[in-house]
Structure 1
Amino acid sequence: MTYTTTLQTPLHSGFDARTTATEALAGRDLSGMQAIVTGGYSGLGLETVRALAGAGATVLVPARDPHQAQAALHGMAGVEIATLDLLDPQAIDTFADAYLASGRALHILVNGAGIMATPLLRDARGYEAQFATNHLGHFQLTARLWPAALRRAQSARVVCVSSLGHRQAGVDLDDPHFLHQPYDKWRAYAQSKSANALFAVELDRLAAAHGVRAFSLHPGAILTPLLRHLDLDDMRGVGALDEQGQVNPPPQSGFKNVAQGAATAVWCATSAQLDGIGGVYCEDCDIAALVADDSTGSGVRRWASDPVQARQLWMQSEQMTGVRFDCDAE
């Protein structure tokens, strides 16, 4: 397949894999800004919320389990909680309607919630759960928040948390829900992460004229609850366990800690270094390089940065969700 890719030119930002979320903010004052962080009560999302709220933003955390979110976020100033299940289209609409009714703008949307390498699960529509949660749920949420929230901000950013896991597979536009092929939990995860990156490509193309820019990113390898579905062999395979089956803590494992893992999302959401830029895949608080399809290292593969693939996925996502994303709507 021939790909036409987005411009992936590293900025040499001055940051690196050791940069923390607080350092990525570079002292920026976010007072008066409104943010939504999905997955914001666990792992990297929780650290992202802590950094944004600590810089003065008001942060709304949608949660499938509000009681768990309340416990995790207790005592954190400037943070609100609302109910949302990304596998439930009606719940997404209810959440979005409530936000729109509040009259608030939305300056930062971090689409960070996700699941990884689960057994085969399907939502009520029959859609494979990793694709439905990681991509389609966020597609619908962003679409529903668009007219009166992101546009109202006049200058906003949408940050899609992808993964280096995208390198294992692109999006299978013919059978994204494994209806006609054996289910593979890692391929399903990989295609959902490629979808996150492609969503940012097309959203940025459509939304840039309205002052809204979109980014995707690899946060790094971090030990978080995202790994909860992995068995011991999986954990060894991703480098989370040593030969004795004990957890490999950072930095011995090569993993980041949570503060470092949240840094690139915070950087994408706030950095002035990205002013006038969008639609790019980032890592280690910089724009990632475009790499060969068979590369085993970091960087973005062509299938996750191809505007043609991004447009095709966009159109299919509208059909799957029944939600038309009208970037010209008021």
Structure 2
Amino acid sequence: MTKEEQEYARVIHSSGNDLLHLINDILDLSKVEAGKLDIHVGEMNVSELPDILRSQFAKVAEQQNLTFSIVRDSQVPDIFYTDEQRLSQIIKNLLSNAFKFTHEGSVQVNLSMCSEEQIREFLPLAKHRQVLVLSVKDTGIGISPEKQQLIFEPFRQADGTTNRKYGGTGLGLSISRELARLLGGRVIMQSKEGVGSTFTLYVPSMEHVFNETESIQKEAAAASSPMISDFLLRDAYKKAADPAERNNFSGRKVLVVDDDVRNVFALSNAFEKEGILVSVAHNGQECLEIMKKDQDIDLILMDIMMPVMDGYEAMRMIRKDTRFEKVPIIALTAKAMKQDRDICLQAGASDYISKPLNLSQLLSLMRVWLTK
């Protein structure tokens, strides 16, 4: 290619990457706000973190003629229990911002452990737990006091506006704050205009969550199928040890309407352990056909987003038939908007529960409607 063509290709590639990052940021923020972003706690090797950060940002520092240093306190353990992917995402966001707004001087990362006094001040709910402190300090433009809270809002820039003077989307800090909350921590900022900024992340150890997850995974490994989710297995086994709970559902007929075979398999397996007689439909049309043949259905679990006929239409059709006016219908949906519950109830649902499902909550809800 000619130099001109190479430049066009470079611009297209750069624009594509920018768009991809924007889409990923928006998706992450949407998932967090909807409560749909999963946290996977594991062992994070903190001893490797300095080398990883150097490999990612040393070249950036060199190009901008900035000093980049990482200091790890001797009290910081080699292994820390958290979601490594999400913690790394926060650190990268903070460092990217630091380099973006620093034109001369330095960017420094400090790793230490939180004192008891700091825990009481910044994370009182994390008492009796280890808390990792990670700070990113720069000698950049700094932020005036009146604008320091604004920059945590989506699409805001360092000047407190939506103008893209320094590039980027303005989503990094907003996402970092929400991710920190998901990890049980928080992000605090100290800044002085024209001097620089320090962003400090406090994140507690989630070793107890890791240990509980390990226990659940061992239960899942003992099951016959890897398709059943961990929470379904755990709750299903607990209930199946309990004859009193089992008798509440024994012999009851439940129709599961869902086009996702994984959900159908998991629910069917768990329900059968409860003594429930399970029928399955993969869309609203199949649901109506099954109900014409079997009018003794005690309860329906209705997914919303399905091909052929969705859950809304299926529920409306069911309620038009006087034979099924009082059959309990629990709507299952991954949608998380506030108005979804009202829409489901207007369409004919008796109740509503959002995905991902918690089997214990679902069974409790089913028990309520089956005893009415």
Rg comparison, structure with higher value: 2
- TM-score, scaled to structure 2: 0.21
- TM-score, scaled to structure 1: 0.23
Higher helix share: 2
